[in-house]
Structure 1
Amino acid sequence: MQKSVLVSIQNMTCGGCAARVARALEGVSGVQDVAVNLADETARFSIEIDQPVTKPMQALDAAGYPARSQDLRFRISGLSCASCVGRLQNAFNDVPGVVSAHVNLADESATLQFIPGLTTPQALAEIAMQTGFPATIADEVQPQDRAAEKQEEADHHRRMMWISAALTLPVFLLEMGGHLLPAWHHLIGRTIGHQASWVIQFVLTTAVLFGPGRQFFTKGLPALWHRSPNMNSLVALGAGSAWAFSTVALLAPGVLPEGTRAVYFEAAAVIVTLILLGRWFEARAKGQTGAAIQSLIGLQPRTALVAQGDDWNEVSVNDLRVGDKFMLKPGERVPTDASVIDGNSFVDESMLTGEPMQVAKVTGDTLTGGTVNGHGSLVCEVLRVGHDTTLSQIIAMVQQAQSARLPIQALVDRVTLWFVPAVMGIAILTVVTWLIFGPDPALSYALVSGVSVLIIACPCAMGLATPTSIMVGSGRAAELGVLFRQGDALQTMCDVKVIALDKTGTLTMGKPMLTDIESVDPATEDHFLAQVAAVEARSEHPIAQAILQAARDRGLDLPEVTSLEVISGQGITGIIDGQRIAVGNRSMMQQYGSAENSFLTVAEEHSAKGKSVFFASIDGRVAAVFAVSDPLRPTSAAAISALKARGLRVAMISGDGRATAQTVADGLGIETVIAEVMPEGKIDALKSLRTSYGSVAFVGDGINDAPVLAEADVGIAIGTGTDVAIETADVVLMGGDVMGVVHAFDLSRQTLRNIKQNLFWAFGYNAALIPVAAGVLYPALGMLLSPGLAAGAMAFSSVFVLGNALRLRRVGIAP
């Protein structure tokens, strides 16, 4: 029996493409009835219903026409350890049509890439449900719900822990008190009797296991039955074994060998109580790992004051539409991306840049949702709403980075998938070994050691080690204005040896400015500048725009110009009040005026500094020399110094002339300069740096540098605050500040260090304590690990990992 498969194809542009797609599919064994439609870019074929579609998809990839895929994000319930993650991840990857799947234990989510037509979100959600983990499409859940959910979960574990502790305390005192104080043991014997003590312990421990501890059995035993054990299974087996053995010893002592009658009710009760305590702390810590996302979400106000007819009415931000007009009062947050249509104020944009700075806003300027208005009132028009706003894009980028799967995670995934079955095998081997070689009472020793092995093992810590650090590190980066668009850039950034920077718009402001005026008569400088600006007002040249901006900054009025004439490659002239004003380079001055030696000397000095120099004359007499340059960003020098202090080689790639580029490089302390490079030549320059020195990160403005950003090992785009959707970059610096490169490198290095610390703890903890729990120290020291102590160690191992990851929230940036 066959099934029909319809997929959407990429890269088809002509009939030849359609024919190649058809040939690629027809070449796969078992594929029949191939029909390729160029108009809607689809391909339909038939295949045996039990045959996977992996080979047809691989054939399309090899032919250069891959099937279109779609991204999907689920919120997952019921994840308790790394084994759960591995099992669900494998279940997703086994579905035909799933390109990739990554399950994140820290934020309890799954990120999938699938091919529409081969599977659907509903089918994938059903797969998750069948595996034991209910899934909800993330877009259908409000992001704010996560903090509330984790708080509710923490509160539940807290209540269960206190109930369990109240029931466990008498059990612990009755049993362990007698071991610690002989007088207490004798007192129990003389009063209620040891048999009655055991009955009380049985009743209370049973209440613990089937009350607060019920969740371990309802979740762990079904997973065990389906041959996919998890952390809950280990707890259920450990606590259940201690309770079952003790119950037999109490109710049917004749079943047990002579000398082995003992009860371990306190072990079962303490195990549940301590693990509930750990789960409480763990839920609280998990809620804090998403604090950066929650703070971003909290930046958007819930209502806005919108114009409706002649009135201003308060409406929900969710009801705003493009074109709506709203009033922004002093001190209020901007509800959505908008433009100012009336009023002026200063707006705090620190949520974009990470730096507390007030930016002047007047009519025509844009506002970003989430920023804070100053003391002025503004009337604004809505530009973008919902998922199209800058804030929504930022949140989406941070979520994408937090869900990333770093290369370092691959080993962890392989280990944790088999970890719980391996622990169960070790526990069985431990019991058998004690029964064969252990001293009397061997059964008691075997039980204690086997239960301790089951309880002390902690796959949770291994599963949380990487994702929690990624979540907290990328969130902290966002607070500092650094967006890791690709989560794996957190790891690859650490391997970078060279930081290559574009000059214009990256190290410099990207906007020429008038820096110097040397005039014949300083007293009439403003008057002459207004005349020159009036002539240049008709020019599109960047230098002309710099002159006009200087005149505006001085508040000058521009006179009328007649007889305007542009001399190609030289400059421009015009008549003002009967006088001919000429503005241009030195060759033009030879035609329209002669320059004094002092002007020529000044011009040479400015040219030597990399500035663009031009002259202005009145009726054939040079009256002033002007110098224009693209000023360096204020933090460029400090950023270069900081990068070099971290052992990185810094290079500059520029299309400017060598003299200009070298002047800028010398001022910043950059030793490696590649100048006079056309845009297409930047990729060759990047490859040359990589060959000579190693992995390269390229920093550009994200406009003309897209190809080289894509070619770099790490592409870093200088954003403008609102320009965050730069598709070719791995990292976006929202503040437009080169110091953000230093922040990105520091956060990458500290996040990877944090991950390695977590992994060392998680693996080291299990490697060291599982043998101790099995009794490896008993022959030499006569010491066995109590199941209660094992439970305490396990409960706090994952809390340690979470706590270590949360330290990244307080990471300071070194100068």
Structure 2
Amino acid sequence: MTHTYNITGMSCDGCRSKVEKTLNAIDGIQATITLDPPIATITMDKHIPTTQLQQALTAAGNYTIAMNNGVDSHGTTEKPIEKSCCSSNKQQEKSIVILPSNAQGKYYCPMHCEGEKVYDKPGSCPVCGMNLEKVPELSLAKTMYTCPMHPEVIKDGPGSCPICGMDLVPMEPTDSEENKVYNDLVRKMKIAVVCTVPIFIIAMSDMIPNNPLMKIMDTEKWNWVQLVLSLPVVFYACWMFFVRAWKSIITWNLNMFTLIGIGTGVAFLFSLVGLFFPAVFPDEFKTHNGVVSLYFEATTVILTLVLLGQLLEARAHSQTSGAIKELLKLAPTEAVLVRDGKDTVISIHDIKKGDLLRVKPGDKIPVDGKITDGESTIDESMITGEPIPVDKKIGDSISSGTINGNKSFVMIAEKVGSETLLSQIIQMVNTASRSKAPIQKLADKIAKYFVPIVVFVSVITFFVWSQFGPEPAMVYGFINAIAVLIIACPCALGLATPMSVMVGVGKGAQSGVLIKNAEALENMNKVNVLITDKTGTITEGKPSVEKVFSLQNDENELLQNIASLNQYSEHPLAQAVVNFAKAKNVSLIEVKDFEAISGKGVIGTVTNKKVALGNEKLMKQVNVRVSDELENKITAEQKLGKTVSYISVDGIAVGFVSITDAIKATSVEAIKELMRQGVEVIMLTGDNENTAKAVATQLNLSSFKASCLPEDKLKEIKRLQFEGKIVAMAGDGINDAPALAQADIGIAMGTGTDVAIESAKITLVKGDLQGIVKAKNLSHAVMRNIKQNLFFAFFYNVLGIPIAAGVLYPFFGVLLSPMIAALAMSFSSVSVIANALRLRGLKL
């Protein structure tokens, strides 16, 4: 088998030769290394984990190796997807950046401005000014123990305190890095609001009849109050915006921070000059009291609104690694080691390949391995997404993170650490969550062109007035140039997107659609392919009896016998039969000689009759011959993808139970509506071909794939994305988590697992596909509303730019007064708020 890998750290041909020699020294490997591009092509006799390759390179120098984009987490080479000239203009380019394996715990720019570069400390990107995000730790931190009475005692395992003898307890985790960033912004937001609200009231007091504030102090003294209140907002709470604006200018990556920084900075400086040196201003820029109109209100309101947007963004970022944290919670921290006939509790980190481990009832499986002694029923729903526990016996494989039933067994550890299935899923979720560039905000796109145009107009305004304006020409030129910048920085810009998003998200929550961030709203409107899981997404996610068939036409009596038999079994299929009987008001009777035969079924004596219920293997064990008539009916049920249990009474096969996972009543209607809107619906499921085909037929789906592993779903989504599709993924199991993270929009069922919900950007509380229709309709309405808001945010100000530049002065002697500028800003804000509130009346 041949795989390709990315190599980082090589700077010359000597490095290339060293890496090639190091890799070829590993048994069973033939490696060829190229420097440009830095790629390793490795042929191996059997799959060798990337971690082993990394260990060899670490010993050789500061080199890192990572799977190439065309290779999955198991080392299987994916078929490259060729881009033809016909399809190139349809494809959506995605920035896929694979961070080096040693980047865990460090910080990177979410825009990947400098590729895979990482930083040791948090802060802002030196290129775009975005907050650096922390690369999630992909391994469960080792649990440390301390004494509740003597906290200075810290041990790496459970035991007793050497001082007082008390049992050591696990140490509590500290506040996460994401929470620290969020809490810091919350603190700044509180300060900004406390200072900004009084400034706003003071500035707007002229609009109140018989201005009550003027009865306390005159305008000049209130201006000094505004200055004092604005200082904490400008120089503490929002100072980072000016830093980002400066960086955006010197790197010429113009964005929203550029506009905010220039506009608010000039407005603040204008206000300072107007407060300290009012005599330099012409009378046109003074009130009837002879006081210059100041812009402390505009400065602080804009900055506070932008800070609000950053706070909402930080909250979303704090949930970015939530899926990985939920996955890590699945892994137990301890295991029971069996050695020399004795059981010893050890840390999960101390498990070695070949160790024998005892798994007790209800415990989580610590690592991947096989059962060597005993048998049990394993709940694998957190890995497979399938709700029915699986019977396991000696020799069967089991996976870490799954949950043991009510029996104890001994297993041998085969895969530990990063080699386990759970660890591989964690890695896939992490890679997928960082493999696509964040959506460029529409405001930034406008600002990219708007900023240089406004600055150019401001410079031209100064030049024209200073050369051709009345005396004092330089003062007129300077003031009008500043007026252009001020009017070009609308207050409503900070409200345009957040207001629509907040109202839209609230409306969605009322309808059972929880949306994590604005990016999800924007992308949902563009979705043209929906990938959906079956179990728990299209279907109910729990087994139920569809029918009980009897050759002797005594279904109720037969149901009473098998339900009575199953009342002593803990198996989910048995519970489904019992629930079915209770729903039909069938009473349960006493059973004698009950016996559960693992992997086959149950037997017992009911009303002096020997009853057996189970699979074909059970029928053979109890020497029951199944007639051709019954076998044909059972085969027909199995072809429909149903789970069928044979029933025998006194050695004669008399019927069967057909168990199914019912399709949700709303699934057919929802999928039909999505297809009507032009969305292609594809079902990917881990179920067998027969079950998948039956469900697809009922839903009139044109495309489905069965027996899909997590990496298969991931590959399918990547393939569709390379074709230029905007893909949404709906799922509810841990097996869906990587696909949910990779998709443009991940949609989780609220009835599913925590990790699926954390990986997704949209959660349907009711677990109903009809929620996807609601989410798409909501997305369309919100995005249209945002565009309208941006129009309102810019319209009055763009209209005011030529007036601020003085184009009307030669004809009508009109200059843009501060009151008009303030009115334009206020009116644009009112328009934005009123328009956003219209979403509250939206019918989904």
User: How high is the sequence identity, in percent, across the aligned residues?
Assistant: 32
Matched, 1:64 2:64: no
Structure 1 or 2, whichever has the larger Rg, is 1
The residue number in structure 2 matching 1:407 is 439
Letter in 2 for 1:756: K
Deviation readout 1:690-743 (Å, 9 max, x if unpaired)? 566723222222233334334434333323277367454444334322223233
Aligned pairs for 1:526-605 (under 5 A) are 526-536=556-566, 543-553=573-583, 554=585, 556-562=587-593, 564=595, 573-584=603-614, 592=624
Matched, 1:631 2:646: no
The residue number in structure 2 matching 1:264 is 286
Residue 511 of structure 1, CA deviation: 1.4
The residue number in structure 2 matching 1:493 is 524
Residue 513 of structure 1, CA deviation: 0.6
Matched, 1:740 2:764: no
What SS does the corresponding residue of 1:495 show, helix, strand or coil? coil
Letter in 2 for 1:546: A
Letter in 1 for 2:267: V
The residue number in structure 2 matching 1:652 is 683
Separation in structure 2 between the aligned mates of residue 728 and residue 225 of structure 1, nearest angstrom: 34
The residue number in structure 2 matching 1:46 is none
Separation in structure 2 between the aligned mates of residue 277 and residue 160 of structure 1, nearest angstrom: 14
Separation in structure 2 between the aligned mates of residue 501 and residue 518 of structure 1, nearest angstrom: 32
| Higher mean displacement: 600-609 or 460-469 | 600-609
Separation in structure 2 between the aligned mates of residue 605 and residue 61 of structure 1, nearest angstrom: 49
Letter in 2 for 1:533: A
CA spacing shift, 1:536–1:113, aligned 2, 3 Å: same
The residue number in structure 2 matching 1:342 is none
Residue 653 of structure 1, CA deviation: 2.0
Matched, 1:161 2:203: yes
Residue 650 of structure 1, CA deviation: 1.0
TM-score (norm 2): 0.54
Match of 2:266 among 234, 255, 258: 234
Deviation readout 1:360-387 (Å, 9 max, x if unpaired)? xxxxxxxxxxxxxxxxxxxxxxxxxxxx
CA spacing shift, 1:545–1:794, aligned 2, 3 Å: same
What SS does the corresponding residue of 1:704 show, helix, strand or coil? helix
Matched, 1:640 2:671: yes
What SS does the corresponding residue of 1:458 show, helix, strand or coil? coil
What SS does the corresponding residue of 2:540 show, helix, strand or coil? coil
Deviation readout 1:481-506 (Å, 9 max, x if unpaired)? 44445764343333322101111221
> Greater helix percent: which structure?
1
Separation in structure 2 between the aligned mates of residue 171 and residue 248 of structure 1, nearest angstrom: 27
Structure 1 unpaired stretches of 5+: 1-11, 28-59, 73-85, 104-108, 117-134, 173-202, 250-259, 294-400
What SS does the corresponding residue of 1:647 show, helix, strand or coil? coil
Letter in 2 for 1:161: A
CA spacing shift, 1:693–1:61, aligned 2, 3 Å: closer
CA spacing shift, 1:566–1:23, aligned 2, 3 Å: closer
Please tell me whether the aligned partners of residues 569 and 596 of structure 2 are also in contact (alpha carbons under 8 angstroms): no
Please tell me whether the aligned partners of residues 164 and 273 of structure 1 are also in contact (alpha carbons under 8 angstroms): no
Letter in 1 for 2:547: D
Residue 646 of structure 1, CA deviation: 2.7
Structure 2 unpaired stretches of 5+: 1-48, 65-96, 137-177, 247-260, 316-432
Please tell me whether the aligned partners of residues 743 and 813 of structure 1 are also in contact (alpha carbons under 8 angstroms): no
Letter in 2 for 1:712: A
The residue number in structure 2 matching 1:209 is 223
CA spacing shift, 1:71–1:509, aligned 2, 3 Å: farther
CA spacing shift, 1:268–1:17, aligned 2, 3 Å: farther
Residue 789 of structure 1, CA deviation: 0.9
Please tell me whether the aligned partners of residues 556 and 586 of structure 2 are also in contact (alpha carbons under 8 angstroms): no
Deviation readout 1:301-332 (Å, 9 max, x if unpaired)? xxxxxxxxxxxxxxxxxxxxxxxxxxxxxxxx
Residue 652 of structure 1, CA deviation: 1.4
Separation in structure 2 between the aligned mates of residue 146 and residue 480 of structure 1, nearest angstrom: 33
The residue number in structure 2 matching 1:752 is 783
Separation in structure 2 between the aligned mates of residue 792 and residue 267 of structure 1, nearest angstrom: 19
Separation in structure 2 between the aligned mates of residue 581 and residue 499 of structure 1, nearest angstrom: 46
Aligned pairs for 1:233-632 (under 5 A) are 233-238=265-270, 247=279, 264-266=286-288, 271-272=293-294, 275=297, 279=301, 406-409=438-441, 412=444, 415=447, 419=451, 426-427=457-458, 429-438=460-469, 446=477, 449-450=480-481, 452-458=483-489, 460-474=491-505, 476-484=507-515, 488-519=519-550, 525-536=555-566, 543-553=573-583, 554=585, 556-562=587-593, 564=595, 573-584=603-614, 592=624, 610-620=641-651, 623-632=654-663
Please tell me whether the aligned partners of residues 648 and 655 of structure 2 are also in contact (alpha carbons under 8 angstroms): yes
Deviation readout 1:754-811 (Å, 9 max, x if unpaired)? 4433444445554443223102345577654333212211344345445545555x26
CA spacing shift, 1:418–1:562, aligned 2, 3 Å: same
Match of 2:828 among 797, 800, 804: 797
The residue number in structure 2 matching 1:329 is none
Deviation readout 1:202-231 (Å, 9 max, x if unpaired)? x95534533446656897799999996654
Matched, 1:661 2:681: no
CA spacing shift, 1:405–1:467, aligned 2, 3 Å: farther
What SS does the corresponding residue of 1:556 show, helix, strand or coil? coil
Deviation readout 1:253-283 (Å, 9 max, x if unpaired)? xxxxxxx887733498584499579949987
Please tell me whether the aligned partners of residues 534 and 683 of structure 2 are also in contact (alpha carbons under 8 angstroms): yes
Separation in structure 2 between the aligned mates of residue 217 and residue 147 of structure 1, nearest angstrom: 14
Separation in structure 2 between the aligned mates of residue 486 and residue 164 of structure 1, nearest angstrom: 38
Letter in 2 for 1:210: W
What SS does the corresponding residue of 2:545 show, helix, strand or coil? strand
CA spacing shift, 1:445–1:655, aligned 2, 3 Å: closer
What SS does the corresponding residue of 1:557 show, helix, strand or coil? coil
Please tell me whether the aligned partners of residues 455 and 787 of structure 1 are also in contact (alpha carbons under 8 angstroms): no
The residue number in structure 1 matching 2:120 is 97
Separation in structure 2 between the aligned mates of residue 692 and residue 428 of structure 1, nearest angstrom: 46
Deviation readout 1:635-663 (Å, 9 max, x if unpaired)? 21232133223321111123445454333
Residue 18 of structure 1, CA deviation: 5.5
Please tell me whether the aligned partners of residues 611 and 660 of structure 1 are also in contact (alpha carbons under 8 angstroms): yes
The residue number in structure 2 matching 1:392 is none
CA spacing shift, 1:448–1:695, aligned 2, 3 Å: closer
Separation in structure 1 between the aligned mates of residue 213 and residue 517 of structure 2, nearest angstrom: 52
